[in-house]
Structure 1
Amino acid sequence: MTNKIFMALTFIGVPLSVIGTVMHWPSIILFVLYCLTIIALSSFMGRATESLAIVAGPRIGGLLNATFGNAVELIISVFALKAGLVGVVLASLTGSVLGNLLLVAGLSFFIGGLKFKRQEFNVFDARHNSGLLIFAVMIAFVIPEVFSMNMNETKTITLSIGISVILIFLYLAALFFKLVTHRGVYQPSGETEGHEEEEPEWGKRKAIAVLFIATIAVAYISEHLVHTFEYVAESFGWTELFIGVIIVAIVGNAAEHASAVLMAYKNKMDVAVEIAVGSTLQVAMFVLPVLVLISLFFDQTMPLLFSWQELIAMISSVLLMVVISNDGETNWFEGLTLLAAYIIMGIGFFLL
């Protein structure tokens, strides 16, 4: 039923988005239309990556889902950078970290926990990811903010570039560690056994084709979505920070939201956690550094500097997630705790 709704939204939303853009419909109508269409397209990306995950296993599947889910946000962010909306980009990346760790993981733990009293996932992966989360957010994000207080703009950009290169290198090294040198060393939890027997919804070629077409459609719509931000902010009295942290982050991560919750409902917690935490790591250690480097080619460069509110929110989210996930098991109450934290931060950013 849900798939049919998303299919209808896609086949109606994509043509209407093109028509509305050409005919210059009111910005508020276009904003809603673009967001709904991107979410519908993200559902196809989620289904395609789920099919590939069945073939490739939980780690590769989670990585693919996070990568193509973050591709939406990366595309939106590049066009926002081109338009000079650096504040929106940084806020959307903050929102992505908060959304994945608190909203996506929280919903997954909560929905899965309502069906299963106790759900397990790979504790070794959880601890490995915890270390990377602490490094990326509590070291790589805090250091530029602290040191830039006594630096001019040129030195701040230089520091941001250096940290970005290190983050990208470490992220690639982490993938090499998990998928090559230590593949199979840390055995996944028993709940993943037998998943290989499940039939994928789509074959490999069809799944890849759907991902490719959906990504192109999202790229087109995202470029025009960015141009509606200013009008929407003025109409509703929203700040760039709120639009980035909440609206853009939710729309940009719609694929992960749907896929992670579905995986948790099916008790495939290794995949669900890999999507939520793996996506956060990819945003913090790859997407954001890449955007810093890409910004060098635009009129306005983007330093690796967040506001103190954004930093404290991300650090709090990381610490809460580390404490909850480090035992390798979860339940509905832990999911509800993560969701409560997200709502509190959402209210804060709305009122800021």
Structure 2
Amino acid sequence: MGKIFTLLVLVGVPLSVIGSLMHWPSIMLFVIYCITIIALASFMGRATESLAIVAGPRIGGLLNATFGNAVELIISIFALQAGLIELVLASLTGSVLGNLLLVGGLSFFVGGLKFKRQTFNVFDARHNSGLLIFGVVVAFVIPEVFTTSMDADKTMNLSVGISVILILLYLAALFFKLVTHRGVYQPLEGGAVHHEEEPEWGRGKALIILLLATIAVAYVSENLVHTFEAVAESFGWSELFIGVIIVAIVGNAAEHASAIIMAYKNKMDIAVEIAVGSTLQIAMFVAPLLVLISLFFPVSMPLVFTWPELAAMITAVFLTVSISNDGDTNWFEGLTLLAAYVIMGIGFYLL
């Protein structure tokens, strides 16, 4: 698989540059850009995994989620610059749904096919559950409820205030997990035996690959944004569907692959940390950061989602919380999450 992704990068990046300079048809460029970003994301995932092998599951999952979300953050910034506010909000919705239902579901399902029962740190699961409910249900619903009787300026002020609080709480959560309470909440049972692993790349090589892949993703993402309008017209897709499904899957390709691989290796702590940790980072850091960044563009983005987006995210959060709170999973629970994702995908396609 690594050789295939290497070939896709070696072919895709030059084609992306040539195609954008020669103004190839938008549909062709859209496909090339998406495949190239997914291939680059795989390199980012492998680099972060190499860096994380010596750092433990929490930091490993955080690294993977951060650089996986970097792709989507880059795409979203260029979309904000182009004034595509609805598409950015839709892609944030898609990230929450994709990480919880698609990535989490595939991880539980694939791992459950190999192992009848898989366990992970129940204390982390319960801690993340509270943050999920706050970050998605409280912080996203409040603006929608209160802004019904507000003008645009007050709506933006409320969004900025909530965004600052979300970022501060997210940083406090990292400080709690990685500094003040690191190692305090350990699983009650011994769990799986962990074998020493050799990183695929050394620290220096992994950092260089990570930097180069991020730069390449930034270039390709900027060009990808310019194809959305033509693709939407050609396929009859709404901006909402492109954001919720297409941009979210392409933007989160790195952690999608990593979480599933970790689950197959029975490293469920890392798999869950990637899926849930990435969702928390989207809701409590990336989304509010984009709100603050949008203040520097002609059109600002309030933290106000549509009711279908809110309903889908709230459902995904409570379904994930109910399944993961016992620190135990199997393939059927994974299939349940995947079924919920498909149902929501059909709904957004038909909107």
The TM-score with structure 2 as length reference comes to 0.99
**Deviation sequence 1:181-238 (CA, Å, 0-9, x none):** 000101146346534x111111111111111110000000000000000000000010
For residues 121 and 50 of structure 1, the distance between their equivalents in structure 2, rounded to whole angstroms, comes to 19
**Deviation sequence 1:285-314 (CA, Å, 0-9, x none):** 000000000000000000000000000000
Question: What amino acid is aligned across from residue 29 of structure 1 in structure 2?
Answer: M
Write out the 4+ residue segments of structure 1 that deviate beyond 6 Å after TM superposition.
Answer: none
- Aligned match of 1:169: 168
Shift of the alpha carbon at 1:333? 0.3
- Aligned match of 2:329: 330
For residues 343 and 99 of structure 1, the distance between their equivalents in structure 2, rounded to whole angstroms, comes to 10
For residues 191 and 208 of structure 1, the distance between their equivalents in structure 2, rounded to whole angstroms, comes to 31
- Aligned match of 1:33: 32
Question: What amino acid is aligned across from residue 255 of structure 1 in structure 2?
Answer: A
Question: What amino acid is aligned across from residue 72 of structure 2 in structure 1?
Answer: E
SS of match in other structure, 2:198: coil
For residues 244 and 192 of structure 1, the distance between their equivalents in structure 2, rounded to whole angstroms, comes to 38
Where does structure 2 lack aligned partners over 5 or more consecutive residues?
Answer: none
- Aligned match of 1:247: 246
Whether the 8 Å contact between 1:192 and 1:270 is mirrored in structure 2 is no
Does residue 190 (structure 1) correspond to residue 173 (structure 2)? The answer is no
For residues 315 and 243 of structure 1, the distance between their equivalents in structure 2, rounded to whole angstroms, comes to 20
Mean Cα deviation higher: 283-292 or 206-215: 206-215
Question: What amino acid is aligned across from residue 302 of structure 1 in structure 2?
Answer: M
Whether the 8 Å contact between 1:92 and 1:249 is mirrored in structure 2 is yes
Question: What amino acid is aligned across from residue 173 of structure 1 in structure 2?
Answer: A
Whether the 8 Å contact between 1:46 and 1:255 is mirrored in structure 2 is yes
Does residue 280 (structure 1) correspond to residue 273 (structure 2)? The answer is no
For residues 94 and 332 of structure 1, the distance between their equivalents in structure 2, rounded to whole angstroms, comes to 25
Alignment of 1:314-329 (within 5 A): 314-329=313-328
For residues 304 and 329 of structure 1, the distance between their equivalents in structure 2, rounded to whole angstroms, comes to 34
Shift of the alpha carbon at 1:128? 0.3
CA separation of 1:256 and 1:340: change in aligned 2, threshold 3 A: same
Where does structure 1 lack aligned partners over 5 or more consecutive residues?
Answer: none
SS of match in other structure, 1:56: coil
For residues 60 and 283 of structure 2, the distance between their equivalents in structure 1, rounded to whole angstroms, comes to 19
- Aligned match of 1:3: 2
Alignment of 1:329-348 (within 5 A): 329-348=328-347
Does residue 65 (structure 1) correspond to residue 64 (structure 2)? The answer is yes
Alignment of 1:1-352 (within 5 A): 2-188=1-187, 190-191=190-191, 193-195=193-195, 197-352=196-351
Q: CA RMSD in A?
A: 0.8
Question: What amino acid is aligned across from residue 69 of structure 2 in structure 1?
Answer: N
**Deviation sequence 1:82-134 (CA, Å, 0-9, x none):** 00000000000000000000000000000000000000000000000000000
**Deviation sequence 1:245-280 (CA, Å, 0-9, x none):** 000000000001000000000000000000000000
